[in-house]
Amino acid sequence: MSALIWFRNDLRVIDNESVYNSTKNHNSVIAYYNFNPKKFEETKWGFKKTERFRAQFLIESVSQLRNELLKLNISLIVDHDSNYFLLNELIKNRKIKDIYLQKEWTQEEILEEKFIESLNEIKFHYNYGQFLFNPNDLNHNINQTPEIFSNFRKNCEKNINVRPILPKPSILDKNNLFNKNYVIPDLKKLGLKKIDHDDRSAFIFLGGTKEGEKRIDDYFWKTNHLSNYKLTRNGLVGKYYSSRLSTWLSNGSLSSKMIYWKVREYEKEIKKNQSTYWLIFELIWRDFFKYISIKHGNKIFHTQGILNKEYKWNQNMKLIQAWCNGKTKHEFINSNMNELNKSGWMSNRGRQNVASYFAKDLKINWIIGAAYFESMLIDYDVHSNYGNWMYVSGVGNDPRDRKFDINWQAERYDPQKKYQKLWSN
């Protein structure tokens, strides 16, 4: 009997338990990915759930995944159907009993799984490939995850070892391949407009594991920018102030472990300092929001957040549109939103400021801002996105409930207005 790998946010062959275990345990394996049309529909606020920049990066990532799977003699079946008819057909026709997939716990993915499970007699083989610190290695129950990041970090660093990279998966017999070639949809097929590259954008990267590995090679070994990461991470202009690795992490083209062990290798061969540690520190932040998401479930999508805290939010559409379109009274906010709208990217410093302005100054329901980031950001990750928005909006894990002084932030991080002039419109 065949096994099936159901790809979602783990678009890689390297260090992927689903690929490794399925090829180890079965002689016949097929792979499946669905560009579910629901993920590209318009939201009730008037923008797409997934916009063109993230969609294009996803298309590139799936294309590269297909090429890497072919080297293992595994065919990738590409679907574009909200009813999962093709997946059900594959399961029945190929007599599939075993489905390998990365564990997800947010509502959309759970409903997908339950739907498929209700129609078939199958066994799901889950893995926690999106984590740096595997939940199976915890020294406590997930429901006991600390609410304060520093407590979480210290416990993980002290008590949990990062697992090694998995061995290369087995290459199957060529007879395993399908004759039919499944077409990967383009932006037009997904109902999205063509991308016209903006020359001001420093985001010049493509999707896929090989492209992510190229970025690691460039940022670590060729330029040694990793050695200065902590000093530059609050930058706004250029392609080297941050690693940009969050983009490949977001859809699983790279795993946290792949980056972690490359940092450790760099520390041995080149230099170990606060900057090299700080990239690992950011990976731990990413894990933290995933654990908070598991612990609190759908509360991360509720206006009251995980604190069940009531604020008087407004939903003034004129203010929302002005923020989305970079037409507020603050030049610093507008320049960040302009960059986002024309490139799908925004710096960490920019994200904190525009989110704080949205929730604390405009007092608009933070869920709408988080949904806009979901639409636009190439590196959108559901747990980090909603976790950070809760954090900034006063309904999450920040005990201080801070508000950013936008004018001070602009003067501190863009004193010559180089960034604001670059993205003035």
SS (H, E, C) 361-414: HCCECHHHHHHHHHHHCCCCCHHHHHHHHHHHHCCCCCCCCCCCCHHHHHHHHC
The ranges of the chain with pLDDT < 70 are: 399
pLDDT score for 401: 75
In the sheet with 123-127, reading across from the earlier edge strand, the strands are 76-79, 29-34, 3-6, 98-102, 123-127
Q: Which residues, listed in sequence order, are joined to residue 89 by a DSSP beta bridge?
A: none
What does R_g of the chain's alpha carbons equal in angstroms? 22
- CA dist 133 → 126, 138, 162, 169 (Å): 16, 8, 6, 22
Q: Are 96 and 90 in contact (CB under 8 A)?
A: yes
Q: List Cβ neighbours of 240 (8 Å cut-off, separation of 6 or more).
A: 219, 223, 225, 232
Per residue in 22-39, is it b (16+ CB within 10 Å) or e — as a string? Answer: bbeebebbbbbbbbbeeb
- Give residue 393's pLDDT: 95
Nearest-CA neighbor of 417 among 329, 344, 334? 334
Q: Residues 69, 75: contact at Cβ < 8 Å?
A: yes
| CA neighbor of 354 nearest in space, from 324, 399, 379, 390 | 324
Interatomic CA distance for residues 12 and 10, integer angstroms: 6
- pLDDT for res 149: 95
Nearest to 247 by CA among 377, 355, 370: 377
- Please report, for residues 110, 336, 397, the alpha-carbon distance to residue 306 in angstroms, rounded to integers and kept in the order given: 20, 28, 8
pLDDT at 399: 66
Domains of the chain: 1-127 (3.40.50.620), 130-162+209-296 (1.25.40.80), 302-422 (1.10.579.10)
- pTM score, two decimals? 0.96
- pLDDT, position 1: 72
pLDDT for the residue numbered 400: 72
Give per-residue pLDDT as tens, 217-229.
Answer: 999 999 999 999 9
- How many Å apart are CA 158 and CA 72, to the nearest integer? 38
